[in-house]
Amino acid sequence: MSLPQKTGHKMSTGTLGKIGSGPFLASSLLLLIAVVLAGPVASWLRVKQHKAALPLVASLSALDESTLRPYRVLRRDVLEPMVVDALGTDQYLSWALEDTSVAEAHPLRYAQLFVTYYSGGHNLVPHTPDVCFMGAGYEPAQRHENREIEVLALGSGAEAVPIRLCTFARTKVFGARYVSVVYTFNCNGRFVATRNGVRILANSPANTYAYFSKVEVSFPRATREESVLGAQKIFNRVLPVLVKEHWPDFEEAERLAQTQ
């Protein structure tokens, strides 16, 4: 009786040559890289994405209102606990201001200043009027714009600070109510105007710490362009104070982190 023949076959030298060819080696290298990234490198990235918190040098509510002159504080708003919870931080300042240097009927006489501060955590994403106003029943009245305004006394002199300008309308039975909001972020010591700008800076794996602060102003009587002028005037007073007296020194914190 003859034994059954094996159905397999020997690998030819031609096949061996293909296995040792460039495409096969490249595929093997990519697989090896994927294994490495799925291991220690991925773990390192997860660690670096979680940012340590940097506390404020001084509470926002402790801001010296005399540095805002000719503005005076008409009202200090205390937000409801539900609003603070939705905001995601209890580090905020919400002040109604009056510009005593202009006439009572001037469109920039009254302003609302709103400052928030966030630090630490994972995948930091800021709240913006672009989204929050929509949730309050407003609709965009014009296309949102990114611009720059000149702010004195930042660093060695004037600095172009990026801002975002949003105009909303709230339609009612007897017409529409319009409001323009101007805001900027300071994230890790740099000014940026957009949410994506904050996300890129705050979630950089190169950094140990992360913080961002949004400074927002609106004027109930002003047009869109008037609001930009009003924001420039207020930002020239409040931003230098926040930089010098309230926001942390991010570069110094990172330098110390590297030495530990």
What's the pLDDT score for residue 260?
75
What's the pLDDT score for residue 246?
98
User: In sequence order, what are the residues at sequence separation of 6 or more whose Cβ sits closer than 8 angstroms to the Cβ of residue 17?
Assistant: none
- Rounded Cα gap, residues 226 and 112, in angstroms: 14
* Contact (Cβ atoms closer than 8 angstroms) between residue 195 and residue 125: yes
Count of other CB atoms within 10 angstroms of residue 235: 25
CA 172 to chain centre: 32
What's the pLDDT score for residue 18?
47
Q: With 0-12 CB in 10 A as exposed, 13-18 as middle and 19+ as buried, what is 26?
A: exposed
What's the pLDDT score for residue 259?
86
* Contact (Cβ atoms closer than 8 angstroms) between residue 178 and residue 191: no
pLDDT along the chain (260 residues), means of 10: 46 47 62 52 50 95 95 96 91 97 97 95 70 71 91 76 92 72 96 93 92 96 96 96 96 90
* Contact (Cβ atoms closer than 8 angstroms) between residue 212 and residue 242: no
What's the pLDDT score for residue 177?
81
- Rounded Cα gap, residues 191 and 181, in angstroms: 17
| Strands (E) located in 188-259 | 190-192, 211-218
What's the pLDDT score for residue 113?
98
- Rounded Cα gap, residues 22 and 51, in angstroms: 42
Give the position of tokens 């400052």.
115
